[in-house]
Structure 1
Amino acid sequence: MNAKIRKLIVQIDETRIEMGQAVTPPTRRAVAIAVIHNPYAGRYAENLDELVTIGEELGGLLGEKCVQALGIEGGQAQSYGKAAIVGEAGELEHAAAILHPKLGAPLRKVLDKGAALVPSAKKRGTLGTAIDVPLGHKDAAYVRSHFDAVEARVADAPRADEIVVAVAVTDSGRPLARIGGLQASEIKGEDGLR
C-alpha cells in the first residue's frame, strides 16, 4: 500500500428515536477515517499522482471498513459520501487528488454498484478539525430521503503533514424522512439521477 496510514477510525451512528418517535429499523451511518502522511506537504508539485493512487487504495479499504461496521453486504448499502481535511502544510488540491480521480471506483466495487456521483467535501484544518461528510443515495442522486451528512473528526489529526480521509456509508436514509420526491423504491438506475 502506498498510503502511510498513522491511524484508522471507524464509527457508527445509529438513530433509534427521533422527536419521540421510534425509528424502526434504526437508521445507521458508518464513517471510516484514515489519517495519512501527505507526501507533498510543504512543497508544490505539479503532478499529484501519488495522492491519486492513495485515493484509489483508500476507496476500497474505507468502504470495506464501513460495510463491516454496519454488518451488511455491500449491495445493501444505500448512501455514500467522502471527505478530506488537509493539514496546514498541504493544499486543498491534495484533498482533491485523493477524492476525485480514483477513490470512487473501488468504493463502488465494494458496494456492488453506485451510479450516482459520490458527494464530497474538503477543507484545510489542524488537530481536531471536524468535517461533515455529505451523503446521497448511491444509485440515484434525486432521492431526497438520503440527503444527509455525518461528522468526521479525529482529536489528534490532521497534523501539518497529514490528511484525514473519510468515507461514509449508510444502510438507510434519514430517520423519519417525509419531504416527498423520488422514493428509493422508485429508482430506475439508468443515469445516476433517477
Structure 2
Amino acid sequence: MAQQSATKAPVGQPVGSGSVFLSFAPWIIFGVVASPSTWEYAALAALVAAIVLSSQDLLHGRLRLLDITAIVFFAVLSVLALALPRHELIWLETYAQVLSSGLVAVMAFASLLFDPFTAQYARESTPPALWRTPVFRHINRVLTAVWGAAFTLMTLSTWLAIRFAAEDDWFNWVIPIALLVWAVRFTRSYPDSYKARHPT
C-alpha cells in the first residue's frame, strides 16, 4: 500500500486505519449488485457503505477525494431513482456500471494534476517530513495512475458487455475482477520494490 512507501511497516501489512481498499468497497458493491433491474438498490447500498466506511474520517474533518466522490455519485443516483419515472432512466440502467468505473478513472487521473489520491491515505501513517520527498511523490503518482488505468479498462470492459451481450460474463465479471486483483497486488508490492531499487 502507498503508506509503506515512507514507513518501516512489514511488507504486505496495511498501515493506519484509512485503507484505500476500504474506500473502493462502495464501488465494488455497486459493480457486483448493479444490473438493469437492480441498479437503484446497488446505488443505495453503495451510498450507505460509503457513508459508514468514511464516517469516522468525516467526523474528524478528513475529506478524502475517493470517499467524497463515492458519496456524491451514489447520492445522485439514488435521488434520480426516486425522482424520475422509470422510462426516463433507461440510459442510466444501461450505463450505470460504465459511468461508475469511468468516474473513478477520471477522478484518479485528475488527482494527478494536483495531489494523487493515494497520497491522502499514505499521509495518515507517514511522517510529514517525508510527504514531499521524491520517493513518496513518485510512488503515489504511480499507484494513482495504476488505479486510473485499471478503472479505465473496466469502463471499456463494461461498455463492451453492453455491445456484446453473449460475452457478458467475461466483460462484466472476469475482466473487471482480474483488473481489481492486479491493481491490489501492484499496490501492495510496488512501494517496497521501488524503495529497494531507490533507497533513501
TM-score by length of 1: 0.30
Which structure: larger Rg?
Answer: 2
The structure with the greater share of residues assigned to helix is: 2
The structure with the greater share of residues assigned to strand is: 1
